Structure 1
Amino acid sequence: MPVPILYQDQRLLVIDKPAGLAVHPGPRTPHSLEALLPAIADRAGIRRLPTIMHRLDRDTSGCLVLAITPASVRRVAGLFEQRLVHKLYWARLDALPEEDSGTIDAPLAKVSSAEAGWRMVVDPAGKRAVTRWRILDRPARLIEFRPETGRTHQLRVHANCLGTSIENDPVYGPIRGSAGRPLMRLHARMLEIPMSDRDPLTVTAPLPAEWQEDHAQFVQLDAQTAQST
């Protein structure tokens, strides 16, 4: 599975993770991004294996940061811990809310059962989770999410808080647990990383080809917003 490199310098790589590729291996995902790190390092011309600095759900595509040196690992880890790395996601929803923008402040907790497995739910006793959102295009059912926290499945559950779900979400969508569905339409569109006191590093991931095949208007939206995000 090809993994495009969107940005590279002496400290960082930002890759465009394909949807369907797990970041870390697991019982159901033996093939993962971790296994591809030697090939990515070779293609980038670096001797040490880069370190994965955060995660995306298996079916989420887009920007993912890899740190190259021990110093950059510490630097990026500190930026994530201080919530100084800003993320922007695009999602296609099953339906759109009536409002054009807003903020979701709904704490999340993990629940599990032997029958259904685990999932995240809104729970007043859970960890705080905050997402800002705005509608980008109503005919295309396209929304922008800007998470201010980084909880597991945050955007997928917060989409439910809007009375809808991310298209093709197999866990939080209307048809749960179905196999053979198209990949979930959630894309890590942009990352902004303040690696220095000067202008922050901003990297944008183009929309996957399958999104553009779904809706021709995505091609135009992709080009129009690539510089403005």
Structure 2
Amino acid sequence: MTPEELAARVLYRDGGVLIIDKPAGLMVHAGPKGGDHLGNYLDGLRFGLKSSPELAHRLDKETSGCLVLGRTRKALAQLGDLFAKGQVDKTYWAVVVGRPREAEGVIDLSLKKRERSHGWRMEVDRSGLPSVTQWKLLGSDGRLSWLECQPLTGRTHQIRAHCAAIGHPLVGDPIYGRGTGTLAGDRLLLHSRGISLPVYPGKPAVAATAPVPEHMQSYLLACGWDALETV
């Protein structure tokens, strides 16, 4: 990715906050095995400031969409506080296997990280951290369904683990939906569609909406998404 390509993915910018549309397949920071990551490109998002912006939260490597960065230390601290206190409204679009019986619901299942010989995963466990996800069925072709998910807590892999726990794993999820990768060419169908943050008291919330990535469009169209109404 060139600096120009990343700059073109900026969804919102002011003196303290940046929201970008992170592409699927790009890690947000260096992993244990190295590899390309967003940090390699943040210098191209200074837009005149002396320092590069820094991550206010994280998205999984294969998750696309809205990612918030702080442009100053003060802004980064404020953003971190908003995320920690659960004051950030996050909306994700997911394509899952099967069709839920209900039109909407709330998944209230505590999650705990478990180490395995082949890696780690989040598992439902009463002794884990409280984890709550609201979801709504937006469309379905009977085989796959398009869900809008709003995590009310910020646990790692929360939406992925919660959807799998109710019997509807995300398409392309190698950890919680084994065997679903062939349905999407091994691409995780999870997109951070929108985000809203009450950054400035007395002013409207800072908000952004990320366009649907190309690798999810055909699946959403099959489930009833109208590309002409919402990009």
Q: CA deviation at 1:75?
A: 1.1
Matching of residue 38 in structure 1 with residue 34 in structure 2 = no
> Does the aligned pair in 2 maintain the 1:109–1:121 contact within 8 Å?
yes
Going from structure 1 to structure 2, the CA distance change for 1:113 and 1:157 (only over 3 Å counts) comes to same
Going from structure 1 to structure 2, the CA distance change for 1:143 and 1:25 (only over 3 Å counts) comes to same
Q: CA deviation at 1:221?
A: 3.3
Matching of residue 163 in structure 1 with residue 156 in structure 2 = no
Show the counterpart of 1:64.
67
Q: Distance in 2 between matches of 1:218 and 1:39?
A: 37
* Aligned pairs, number: 222
> Does the aligned pair in 1 maintain the 2:139–2:225 contact within 8 Å?
no
Q: Distance in 2 between matches of 1:21 and 1:218?
A: 26
Match of 1:93 among 78, 91, 96: 96
Match of 2:119 among 99, 113, 117: 117
Show the counterpart of 2:190.
186
Show the counterpart of 1:10.
15
> Does the aligned pair in 2 maintain the 1:22–1:29 contact within 8 Å?
no
How does 1:76-155 map onto structure 2 within 5 Å?
A: 76-114=79-117, 116-139=118-141, 141-155=145-159
Q: Structure 2 counterpart of 1:83, which letter?
A: G
TM-score by length of 1: 0.89
SS of 2:97 mapped into structure 1: coil
Q: Distance in 1 between matches of 2:119 and 2:180?
A: 12
Q: CA deviation at 1:27?
A: 2.6
Q: Structure 1 counterpart of 2:19, which letter?
A: V
Going from structure 1 to structure 2, the CA distance change for 1:62 and 1:164 (only over 3 Å counts) comes to same
Q: Could you list the runs of 5+ residues in structure 2 that have no partner in the other structure?
A: none
Q: Distance in 2 between matches of 1:88 and 1:68?
A: 23
Q: Structure 2 counterpart of 1:37, which letter?
A: L
Q: CA deviation at 1:60?
A: 0.3
Show the counterpart of 1:47.
50
SS of 2:43 mapped into structure 1: helix
Moved over 4 A (4+): 217-220
TM-score by length of 2: 0.89
SS of 1:19 mapped into structure 2: coil
Show the counterpart of 1:205.
210
Q: Structure 2 counterpart of 1:126, which letter?
A: G
Q: Could you list the runs of 5+ residues in structure 1 that have no partner in the other structure?
A: none
Q: Tell which deviates more after alignment, 103-112 or 20-29.
A: 20-29
Alignment identity in percent?
Answer: 37
Q: Distance in 1 between matches of 2:224 and 2:52?
A: 34
